[in-house]
Amino acid sequence: MHPILWQIGPVEIHAYGFFLAAAFAAGTYFTAVQAREKGISVEFVLDLALVAYAAALIGARIGFVLLEWPYYRLYPAEILRVSEGGLSFHGGLILAVAAGIWFCRRRQVNPWQMADIAAPAVPLGTAIARMGCLLNGCCYGYVTDLPIGLPAALGDPSPRHPTQIYAAVLNLALFAYLYRKRDHRRFPGYLGLIYLILYSVLRSVVEIFRESEILFGSIKVAQAFSVLVIIGAGLVIYAVENRRQARSGFTE
């Protein structure tokens, strides 16, 4: 593990914070390029990115602190030390989506169209951010005897499933798939909903090997939330498609 990339005098550059910033930059650049092709200004995308990323950071930290509340209740000063790790993806996703919808409506831009444009950028950024997790030694997997095992937990030399790498590779594959589907002919927002479904499936698979919070039995908190996301996004797709078919039949 290499949690600190560089140190310049008293200033430390943490791997987690560095790769998180790189993820935001890459996601914003990709979204801006795609949005410009759809006639949406780069300035709007930059403003939206600042709002969404700030909301994502706040939501992700709140989610993580709530999951680890027994620890943070004893050490409240640690809550603000975000650069060293400790973010909940689902917490960030919820607040970022809410903030993004609000901002798009305020600027009179279709939020469903923006969801389609931004969908491939999210797994791209997630893949980059997971490299920060690997160097930081967080989000690690269970101890394993398999050859793929790495000392993936900070301060623990035991070989573990490098779930950070699993997540990065799967998110890159998801990015490639969504990018190929970016010119779909379905309804606005379809690609964003497909992202939610596929990411939730991939996350549930990674959680099998990851040492994380258990909800009950062998079901992890992230897996339970992922199931809810899959059901919710699937129902929206089903409802919209049925409405479109009903309107098409009516017009004919």
Concatenate the DSSP letters of all residues of 15-83 into one string: HHHHHHHHHHHHHHHHHHHHHHHTT--HHHHHHHHHHHHHHHHHHHHHHHHHHTHHHHHH-GGGGG-GG
Helix (H) or strand (E) segment spanning residue 5:
strand 4-8
Residue 14 above 90 pLDDT? no
Residue 251 above 60 pLDDT? no
C-alpha–C-alpha distance, residues 43 and 137, integer Å: 36
pTM of the model: 0.89
What values do phi and psi take at 146, rounded to 5? -70, 155
Give start and end residues of each alpha helix (H) in the chain: 15-37, 42-67, 69-74, 89-106, 111-118, 121-136, 163-180, 190-209, 221-251
Residue 61 above 60 pLDDT? yes
C-alpha–C-alpha distance, residues 248 and 252, integer Å: 6
Can you give the C-alpha Rg of the chain in angstroms?
Answer: 19
| pLDDT value at residue 4 | 86
C-alpha–C-alpha distance, residues 21 and 159, integer Å: 28
Residue 150 above 70 pLDDT? yes
Task: Give percent above pLDDT 70 in the chain.
Answer: 96
pLDDT digits (tens, 9 = 90+) for 64-86: 888 777 878 887 878 877 755 67
Asked whether the beta carbons of 153 and 135 are under 8 A apart, the reply is no
More confident residue, 162 or 64: 162
Query: How many C-beta atoms lie closer than 10 Å to residue 252's C-beta?
Result: 5
Please work out, in degrees rounded to the nearest 5, the angle formed at the alpha carbon of residue 140 by the alpha carbons of 153 and 69.
Answer: 95
CA-to-CA dists, residue 189 to 11, 111, 157, 197, angstroms? 43, 8, 44, 13
Helix (H, G, I), strand (E, B) or coil at 12: strand
Quote the DSSP letter at residue 141.
B
pLDDT digits (tens, 9 = 90+) for 81-120: 775 567 788 888 889 999 999 999 999 999 999 999 999 9
